[in-house]
Structure 1
Amino acid sequence: MPGDEPDDPLADLADLILNVGRLVRARTPEGPQVVTLNETERQVMRVVDLYPGAAPSEIARRTRLQRTNVSTALRSLEDKDMISRTASAGRGIAVSPTARAADNLRLLRAAWAGELAGLVGDDLDAVRRCTEVLSRLERALTADDNEP
């Protein structure tokens, strides 16, 4: 079974993803220009960015978080002007990122790129291939169970 072997490449990949993510997050800039988010808010915001217009229940399914935790995060993100909620078909609500969220993400991405630029060298083709694999994993892991 995958993961049972001490040198399982999939387990190694998952372990490295978690650790590198933690290390990059530790180097994330702080200050008045950057909106600080907690872990749940980050997860919710990522799904809102990937699936703008998603309903809160869809966000909960995609993040695999409790609906109450998503509701709390959405209230906090709305207070921080990171999301907007609008009425959608029927009695539904659509959640979308705001301009402030886009600005915040641009600041973070620039900082992250700066942190990694000197560490990965000139092999941007390898970085692009790695990004493609990780993007496929993210899409699969955030797939709504109702999607084909």
Structure 2
Amino acid sequence: MTFDPAGDAALGDLADLILDVGRLIRSRTPTGQGLVALTDTERTVMRVVDLYPGCAPSDIARRARLQRTNVSTALRSLEDKGMVARDHTGRRGVAVTPTPRARGNLQTLRTLWAAELAAALGADRTGVAGCAAVLTRLERRLIDDD
């Protein structure tokens, strides 16, 4: 399927909304509550590690579209924060996995985010599951697109 700038304008609107809604949700997320503060790069790296546990740092860099040196720096910091474990897989291979602390952090964030969205949406949850499914598919295709 080809891109039609006039007919596909809604896709640009969708991208703009996704970015802004994500920013607004993050800005309204309470701090503290045992949450581990992460930089933007650390959040990006953690998302890939959560989606692909056991992946190598080079895979994280490729999937996240980040420079390998930035991923290495983020992984060191995440390891210091207790968010990832790096296991040697032989020769020079490394597998990166989320720790129980990371899983707990993500669960706390998702609970806070769900409460924020529930308050914003009220009783009208029409289309939420379908929207989540579309965004999940979109995320996977963008991450897996080499």
TM-score, length basis structure 2: 0.92
1:101, 1:70 → 2: CA distance? 17
1:36, 1:86 → 2: CA distance? 24
Shift of 1:89: 4.3
8 A contact 1:3–1:11 mirrored in 2: no
- The amino acid that maps onto 1:10 is L
Structure 1 gaps, min length 5: none
- Partner SS state of residue 108, structure 1: helix
Describe how 1:37-76 pairs up with structure 2 within 5 A. Answer: 37-76=38-77
CA RMSD of aligned residues (A): 1.9
Indicate the larger mover: 127-136 or 26-35: 26-35
2:145, 2:82 → 1: CA distance? 26
- The amino acid that maps onto 1:142 is I
- 1:78-111 alpha-carbon deviations (Å, 9 max, x no partner): 0000000001144210000000001101110110
8 A contact 1:2–1:8 mirrored in 2: no
* Change in CA separation of 1:144 and 1:55 when aligned onto 2, cut-off 3 Å: farther
Describe how 1:1-148 pairs up with structure 2 within 5 A. Answer: 2=3, 4-5=5-6, 8-31=9-32, 33-143=34-144, 145=146
Indicate the larger mover: 89-98 or 70-79: 89-98
- The amino acid that maps onto 2:112 is A
Identity %: 61
2:4, 2:88 → 1: CA distance? 44
Shift of 1:3: 7.8
8 A contact 1:40–1:73 mirrored in 2: yes
1:90, 1:144 → 2: CA distance? 28
Superposition misfits of 4+ residues, deviation over 3 angstroms: 1-7, 121-125
TM-score, length basis structure 1: 0.91
- Partner SS state of residue 32, structure 2: coil
- The amino acid that maps onto 1:19 is D
Aligned length: 145
Indicate the larger mover: 121-130 or 75-84: 121-130
